Amino acid sequence: MVFNLITYYLGFMLMILGLMMMMFSFKFYFGAVVYFVEWEIISLNSSSIIMTFIFDWMSLGFMGLVMFISSMVMFYSTYYMEGDKHFVRFIMLVFMFVLSMMLMILSPNLISILLGWDGLGLVSYCLVIYYQNIKSANAGMITILSNRVGDVAILISIAWLMNFGSWNFFYLQMVYKDNVGLMLMVCVFMAAMTKSAQIPFSAWLPAAMAAPTPVSALVHSSTLVTAGVYLLIRFNYMIGFNMFLFYIGCFTMFMSGLGANYENDLKKIIALSTLSQLGLMVMTLSLGMVEFSFFHLMTHAMFKSLLFLCAGCYIHSMGDTQDIRHMGSLMISCPITSFFFICSSMALCGVPFLSGFYSKDLILEMFFMKSMNTIMFFIIFLATLFTLTYSVRLMYFIFFNNMGVRALLNLGETLGMTYPMGGLMFLSMYGGCFMGAKLFPSVYVFLPFFVKTSLLIMIVMMFMLMFWMLNIKTIQLNNYTNMIIKYAGSMWFLPMLSTMLLMPILSLGLKLIKYMDQGWLEYMGGQGVILYFSNSASIIDYSNFLNIKYYLFIFFVMIFMLFMYF
């Protein structure tokens, strides 16, 4: 009962606050209101430490959505983590995670952003290693080391901003647009790329799936991975039109979409689809379409959190297995979850009139109307169509794979888990439509004939490729094709490269600890000094024992010395 109380108390509190924030977001948007709240923490002589918060429609809307999704995850966790030994600790970690995200969203100051940024990194490490085994430890290590690169970039940005007399980047980016701000822009790009897992820092995001599923729903929908994109949205005045970010976003989209088609782990497929959408957001930002990128950030959070919660139900239902080849006929055992899963997958694919359609379609249409490189056009085209192929492949394995009697097994679907999924389902269906109508008015789109015809041809080709991939087990492949498939399905060997680069550093650290910290430094330093002083002090202690003969001897020595002196 205590477990229910803590999740429901925090969940209802976050839900009410989230709905209030969303309401204020619309009010601030229509009234064109922006509030800066400054809180002077301490003032010493002429120096002041001031905490600044920004309240505008973007920060309030994103914060409201994060709070609402967090509340649904809290309700869901009550039943998903039922019986866990450290349940209260888990809930407190999730709550600390949400608080760190709040601090990051509301800060226009790089120092207070660093507090939220580091909080996200450290708490995410604690959550990834929650199930204490070798896989979780390795995943947690690559997660925190990748994120530390971004933390260092933020620290360098803070040091560089000392040149300008303020850490409040919100004003500075409007003043310094030339080469003066180039160093700052490079550091911000590095920080955002690590946190949002863009190439070459993409390996940690699928590895972080070692965390419990409710954490995955929160981390990979609206909090940790979107922090980098949100930071770039705040720095949009310095970015403008940036080709470097454009190529990074496009290739991240392509690489993750291709890898998801060959992956067999249910949670990793959804994680790679998150990576693909993050690439789309970064690509949109690089073209100067800041509001559209933020729109997709919001709609993606709605349906992606629902996808992860459905995946948690499926994993429970199939006896804690995540391999999609061991699943099948789940619409029999989990009908409600299956309905939610199909709708959220359709929203991810951009099926008309679901929330993903309003943001994703708008972004692609705006891109296709611009003057563009033909090669990049086809890469983006393929990366978008990969979303369709891996979603259909996933549904094929989950719903149409014949599992015989095992299909009747149901361990996971309870009302306590379907209610929060229903709340997110409502957002996935109507959230994008509402935001598209109120916040992002539609524009007239005119696409050339070449784009329209290429779309039809590519969709037919993708379906043919998809059926070939589903029957890949029955086809005899030569070694060359096997190598290509292995390369495409391994995220271009990024996980291997990431760990290979880190291993020498970690082994060097192990040797330093073994031979220096626990070896010579102990002997020459702390322990050695203590041993020397204790031995020295023991010599003095020899003269401090109570003996009448000793005192009489000292007395006579002193008398003798006095006689000699006089």
Tens digits of per-residue pLDDT, 147-175? 888 889 989 888 887 777 677 766 666 55
Cβ atoms 284, 241 nearer than 8 A: no
| CA pair distance 317, 324, nearest whole angstrom | 13
In tens, the pLDDT along 526-558 reads 777 788 877 777 766 666 655 677 777 777 888
The rounded mean pLDDT for the chain is 82
pTM of the predicted model as reported, rounded to 2 decimal places: 0.85
Q: What is the mean pLDDT of residues 63-88?
A: 88
CA angle in degrees (0–180, nearest 5) for 358-436-198: 55
Selected residue with higher pLDDT from 177 and 559: 559
Write phi, then psi, for 375 (nearest 5 degrees): -65, -45
Q: What is the mean pLDDT of residues 27-49?
A: 82
CA proximity to 311, closest of 76, 3, 495: 76
Dihedral, 396, 327, 266, 298 alpha carbons, nearest 10: 60
Which pLDDT belongs to residue 180?
A: 61
In tens, the pLDDT along 372-431 reads 788 888 888 888 888 888 888 888 888 887 776 666 666 667 788 888 888 889 888 888
CA angle in degrees (0–180, nearest 5) for 451-344-326: 110
